[in-house]
Structure 1
């Protein structure tokens, strides 16, 4: 089965990408490149970038990685992010002739791109859809103390933001003392393992797996919704021990067949 992955290959996402490569070592990984933009110099923009860098450093430190780990990928191609949906990008992806296209932290794709694979185009989303769609959705579930909706979703890509049929939902184990970084890592590992199960299932079926439709729209969070004030409020809440994260068991719901399967560990 030919697999193409589109991912920025950041430290968190490499947990998922590496699991895909364990299943199919010759999968092609397309890493979008982004032109450098002139950075805004307002206090709010500087604070946002600083907090983002600190979060990423904490993530890499907890993963004990020096780089993002993408340098060892056998078949990695860098491609201009703005060109992915262009005629050149579409032709490039068609030449790869994927059975399955998987995205994990990737630009929004056009319908023409998502229809290229023979079997499906699937997204790995950090957040429980449809309640939490868009950006920073693990953060928003924690910020709102909606702990039962902390987790990730594997879903088909449709012409919307995280709105396609759901193939799986994962909920990491939570313990008091967890924070956004530890939950990021737990969710990544659980998404990676569950995606591996899906790859095994679809490789045997050799036909599309429908999943289940999303019953309501939920909320689409924008990157700009997460202000420095909200990020700092979360950090102070953790420092003061007021996050009140309850102990919850790990849970995985898969919709690889007509009946859903719940796995508790």
Structure 2
């Protein structure tokens, strides 16, 4: 992890992420896809937001009690990840996905995707496409400074399930037909950019809050590859998102337990 070195005659796909198994599934899928081509894949790894930063931001927007309840859910879900290992193994096998760090992929660390150093690196890299996977919201001034298509992989169907835990909220809202993921253009809003592709897998009974995002990410690998290909070729065909729009956050711990008991949606 250090200075990004890019061949000047190569097209580059720049993946921006805060890291984790799900983003590495995407990175590895793109790396394998372009392995024997003139396209290279590079990663800008930003520092994840601290729990305190997340709490304070949600407290300002939603209030202290909901903000605390949401963080409690995420902490509890993290504890349950070991219980999800069998299911995550099944997901990776089903979609031929690799969620592990790949030392063959160049990685450069940055403080934030919105930092001045990030803009300098992007200009040096001169990528043919940028893909966001699990990052902070890209700010308007950064977006406007980039002369390149910026795509985002969102684990939810836009515009009804923007924000976080889109798959969970579709099931909890008795809307299983909209359990899915979206590849979309990035604008200054939260998952409000024009849609490129969507996919709707069927969750298993063994899926729950800790596995929904991985299932949706794995199911979206094909449409992600297709969208990135089209971005590099200048052939993107975005379509304005239509229908009811809603921004979601993780459920509070008590709402998650309620939906689990009453609806079987965990």
Please give the TM-score of this superposition, normalised by the length of structure 2: 0.75
Q: Contact between 1:133 and 1:221, CA under 8 Å: does it hold in 2? A: yes
Partner SS, residue 132 of structure 2: strand
Structure-2 change in CA distance of 1:180 and 1:14 (3 Å): same
- Which residue among 127, 133, 147 is the counterpart of 1:98? 127
Aligned residue in 1 for 2:61:
none
Of residues 156, 173, 181, the one that matches 1:152 is 181
| Structure 2 residues not aligned, in runs of 5+ | 1-10, 56-64, 93-97
For the structure 1 residues 106 and 35, does the alpha-carbon distance in structure 2 shift closer, same or farther, using more than 3 Å as the test?
Answer: closer
Task: Report the counterpart of residue 238 of structure 2 in structure 1.
Answer: 211
Q: CA deviation at 1:185?
A: 3.4
Paired position in structure 2 for 1:20: 30
Equivalent residue in structure 2 for 1:135, among 149, 164, 176: 164
Aligned to 2:43: 29
Which residue is 1:74 aligned to?
Answer: 105
Structure 1 residue ranges (4+ consecutive) displaced by more than 6 angstroms after TM superposition: none
More deviation in 152-161 or 191-200? 191-200
Contact 1:4 1:28 in 2 (8 A): yes
Unaligned runs of 5+ in 1: 245-265
Stretch deviating more after TM superposition (27-36 or 53-62): 53-62
C-alpha separation in 2, matches of 1:159 and 1:222: 18
Q: Answer yes or no: is the 8 Å Cα contact 2:183–2:195 preserved in 1.
A: yes
CA distance in 2, matches of 1:156, 1:34: 22
Q: How many residues align?
A: 233
1:2 is displaced (CA, Å) by: 1.1
After TM superposition, the score normalised by the length of structure 1 is 0.75
**Partner SS state of residue 161, structure 1:** coil
Kept in 1, the 8 Å contact 2:128–2:231? The answer is no
**1:108 & 1:222 partners in 2: Cα distance?**
14
2:34 paired with 1:5: no
